[in-house]
Amino acid sequence: MPQFGVLVYSPAPADPMALTPEYLELLDRYPSQAKELHGKVLGGSYFSGQRGFAFDASTTGMAIRGETVRSGPLVESDLVATAFFVLQAPNLDVAVDIAKLHPAARDGGVEVRPMFVPPAK
C-alpha cells in the first residue's frame, strides 16, 4: 500500500508540552480514525504507544539553499512545522481525507506528500 509523509503545522510557538487535554484526546483517536478509512499511521510524533517524531517548540530553524544558510524556516508563514509522521493509505485521495481528520488541520495545517518509491530493478 502506498505511503505518504504528513507534515503538521501549528500556530507559533507550538509547544508540545502545552497541548490541551482535549487536543491530546483527538490525537489519541486519530490512528483509529485513519484505520476506519482503510489507512494506517505508521509512526507518529505524539500518538501514544507509537514511535515517532516531534519538533522542539521553536519558531526558528535553519534554512539552507545552496551555500546560503539563514535562521528561520525556508518558507515564511505564521505557522511552524511541529511534527511529521508516515501514513499508509490506498491512494492520495484517501490520505488527504485522513489528514483532514488530524486536529492540526483545524487551527494550523497538514501537508500530505507521497513517499518516493524507487523503480524496481
Judged by average pLDDT, the poorest of 5-9, 67-71, 105-109 is 67-71
The dihedral through the CA atoms of 71, 74, 80, 85 has a sign that is negative
| Cα-based angle 102, 91, 87 (whole degrees, multiple of 5) | 40
Residue 59's pLDDT is what? 56
90 pLDDT more than 60: yes
Domain annotation covers residue 17:
yes
Domain annotation covers residue 31:
yes
In the numeric block, the cell 534554512 is attached to 63
Average pLDDT, integer, range 72-82: 75
Residue 13's pLDDT is what? 78
Overall domain count for the chain: 1
The dihedral through the CA atoms of 111, 53, 64, 11 has a sign that is positive
pTM of the predicted model as reported, rounded to 2 decimal places: 0.79
**The domain containing residue 82 runs over which residues?**
3-58+73-114
Domain annotation covers residue 68:
no
Domain annotation covers residue 103:
yes
6 vs 86: CA distance, rounded Å? 6
At a CB cut-off of 8 Å and minimum separation 6, what does 89 contact? 1, 2, 4, 34, 37, 38, 39, 40, 95, 98
Q: CATH number for the domain including 53?
A: 3.30.70
Residue 18's pLDDT is what? 85
Residues pairing with 86 in the sheet:
5, 43
Domain annotation covers residue 67:
no
What's at 40, amino acid-wise? Answer: K
Percent of the chain with pLDDT over 70: 79
Residue 49's pLDDT is what? 57
71 vs 91: CA distance, rounded Å? 36
Domain annotation covers residue 63:
no
Q: In terms of pLDDT, which residue wins out, 40 or 70?
A: 40
Domain annotation covers residue 64:
no
Domain annotation covers residue 14:
yes
63 pLDDT more than 80: no
Phi/psi-derived region of residue 106, left when phi > 0, alpha when psi is between -120 and 50, beta in every other case: alpha
Residue 39's pLDDT is what? 96
Residue 72's pLDDT is what? 67
